[in-house]
Structure 1
């Protein structure tokens, strides 16, 4: 076999843990973990499909890396800035791999990832500069700063990765360069005028989840004065000790990576939802998501976490809860459900499709989910229906107690508050309806499925 033409090395902190080879003419990929890493009793694989002790398939390696890249316009910008095609996964990860989601840095082979560069003055961003850059996004993309493209997390929305030792906006923010890594993700309002007050929308949904005791990431609103959502990264842990400021990276993978599927399969109906295309359901589904529990280290706890995540999407009307919106920490012993993110009430924007990313049973229409759909979902996913009733009741009681309180206690502006109040009204009605349907579902005979 010919040696690959291009190579990258994977680094975790100051340790080289694997080498990736790429043969562009044959579109072939190889992954080899170092002997030192494999012999470490705490070592872990990148994903279940890329094991430590077996040969990894070329297609699985590509799919894993492709899922690290941005999507949509952000991908267009990055590809253009780097002078590579959007389909050139190797070229893109080579350019962006120093600060991807998860624990590992992807560096050109031969580059010493254990050596810290000469100390340079950290690049601070003030609120005024951030506001200026948000205002000129159409002519100067937010992902480019000082001639360098900095977008390296998956997703469609504009994002900026920053380092901050506390709450962004209250403490200085810096563009992260090694040895620092980002601690927060900043998401301004979408440039699309059809998505007003998305920052307040996501902030409320995330804050409500946390108030209900659900494991959502911590968020805050930074005003430049434009609203910007600041999300605390749960795959990063900031330290400040005698050696200075540094950031510990934790390895996470999304459900597409855990399922060994490409990013295009993040929707259950991966081909489309119109006509005959809707019959194909090969993407990430709720049964497939629950199926990943075979790799989990704490199956009962994570089964509950996935169930609560799925039900909460119905409560807030998030039809876009897809396979890249649920992640797992990766340990040597297996997977563990990670905190939630991207919780948005999509139904507040009627001009967009509200087909569910993942069906409950066979039902993709949020308004058409009835008791049978819930029972079918429970049957396919191995959920005890009495547990389903208890969790729906728990959600209803929590929404009753906290939804209005959360809305009134947060610093939303006038127009933002109107939208948040609509989400409160929806959450109250949806949680009541869900609790009633779950009780009805518990009495449907199993032989009907």
Structure 2
């Protein structure tokens, strides 16, 4: 991390993976699940690595074939790869500061991979051992590095700067909707990276800058260390939908007894609830770990999933027992606060004000969308905030139309 050794993962003969911090490692842990003082559960190191890889076996097999890795295990796939956060992994003794030449990525090459993703989500890796990156999750996506105004392929020595996510048939127009929802989150007062829609040789895709990267004055890119909440909790990616809001709040309170981190996260949870994002699981929130302290990352994967009628609308994390966004009231937020020792009035205000900001700025965020997409999204937002009694900013058009009543 930051071009210095921080520790070693070791695999035993029985396949168990352990971790040892380097004596010169900084005081900041590489994960909340691997505290500097030790004493973590036996599986925590392996689960941390597993969360850096794609969820599906087919995607991991494609990674193995494309990169020339010896196997589908984390050691093989993460060796020399560009992955999320600030950690870089090497099977050798040296930090892989240089991993071969920086390879330009032409618009045609990128467009071809995007097209391949639409046809077969696991077929978009082309064989080249010098291109190595890993992105977690189920959705097909790729990462690129912008170097000197030129798109290039990433690896351990060339940190990616952007992530591309094209829509597939089942989620048509997802790239347009996610870009608009990210604008909405920013207008509602949340921290978001730059994001939008781009085309490569006629192939359209959602594109976002990475918030876990920083461009230095000399033009180089450095990595910022962060981890998603599944890594923080020490669970595997297969359990990301099983995490409750209470579990997250207990974790964040342990890490920050002032609860500033907890309130910051609750605003993110409120945003996802208010836009009807029924896919906001534990891996869709991240913590930045820095010497200056812990903070919640900017938002990402912000998407009104209820736009598609086939998507299960139930929330991954219930709000005070409410399973669906349109059921959530101020009382449910108060119940969640009370159960976790937080200020009820503060939490309720955060939820209602976030809902109000979403409704107030939705038309502006969605203005460039096709009319049918715009109108359906607006209906979904009204439905998601049906009973929260939103506090709409004064002087906005949405204030006049806010007629929902708390239950």
**3-state SS, counterpart of residue 287 of structure 1:** helix
Q: How many aligned positions are there?
A: 390
Mapping 1:150-165, distance limit 5 Å = 150-164=132-146
**Residue equivalent to 2:88:** 105
**Residue equivalent to 1:185:** 163
Task: Label 1:179 to 1:429 Cα distance change in 2 as closer, same or farther (>3 A).
Answer: same
Query: Is it true that 1:198 corresponds to 2:186 in the alignment?
Result: no
**Residue equivalent to 1:34:** 22
TM-score normalised per structure 1: 0.78
Contact 1:253 1:329 in 2 (8 A): yes
Q: Deviations over 1:231-285 (max 9, x none)?
A: 11111102241xxx321111101111111111111112xxxxxxxxxxxxxxx11
Contact 1:378 1:385 in 2 (8 A): yes
Task: Label 1:151 to 1:352 Cα distance change in 2 as closer, same or farther (>3 A).
Answer: farther
Shift in Å at residue 173 of structure 1?
A: 1.1
Shift in Å at residue 157 of structure 1?
A: 1.3
Contact 2:54 2:134 in 1 (8 A): yes
Task: Label 1:144 to 1:297 Cα distance change in 2 as closer, same or farther (>3 A).
Answer: farther
**Residue equivalent to 2:207:** 230
**Residue equivalent to 2:375:** 421
Contact 1:101 1:152 in 2 (8 A): yes
Contact 1:396 1:428 in 2 (8 A): no
Shift in Å at residue 436 of structure 1?
A: 6.0
Task: Label 1:177 to 1:374 Cα distance change in 2 as closer, same or farther (>3 A).
Answer: closer
**Residue equivalent to 2:401:** none
Mapping 1:4-23, distance limit 5 Å = 12-23=1-12
Shift in Å at residue 198 of structure 1?
A: 0.7
Q: Deviations over 1:390-446 (max 9, x none)?
A: 2234224323432111222x4x4x3xx5223322332245335322699847xxxxx
Contact 1:70 1:152 in 2 (8 A): yes
Provide the rounded CA distance (Å) in 2 between the counterparts of 1:13 and 1:396: 39
**3-state SS, counterpart of residue 207 of structure 2:** strand
Match of 1:51 among 16, 20, 35: 35
Shift in Å at residue 52 of structure 1?
A: 2.3
Contact 1:143 1:151 in 2 (8 A): no
Contact 1:392 1:431 in 2 (8 A): no
Shift in Å at residue 304 of structure 1?
A: 2.3
Contact 2:145 2:154 in 1 (8 A): yes
Provide the rounded CA distance (Å) in 1 between the counterparts of 2:364 and 2:7: 49
**Residue equivalent to 1:258:** 232
Query: Is it true that 1:309 corresponds to 2:268 in the alignment?
Result: yes
**3-state SS, counterpart of residue 15 of structure 1:** coil
TM-score normalised per structure 2: 0.86
Provide the rounded CA distance (Å) in 2 between the counterparts of 1:325 and 1:32: 28
Q: Deviations over 1:161-215 (max 9, x none)?
A: 111158xxxx42111245321111111122xx12110101111111100111111
Shift in Å at residue 57 of structure 1?
A: 4.4
Provide the rounded CA distance (Å) in 2 between the counterparts of 1:248 and 1:85: 28
Match of 2:113 among 133, 151, 154: 133
**3-state SS, counterpart of residue 99 of structure 1:** coil
**Residue equivalent to 2:63:** 78
Shift in Å at residue 130 of structure 1?
A: 1.8
Provide the rounded CA distance (Å) in 1 between the counterparts of 2:18 and 2:129: 32
Provide the rounded CA distance (Å) in 1 between the counterparts of 2:355 and 2:316: 23
Match of 2:51 among 67, 75, 81: 67
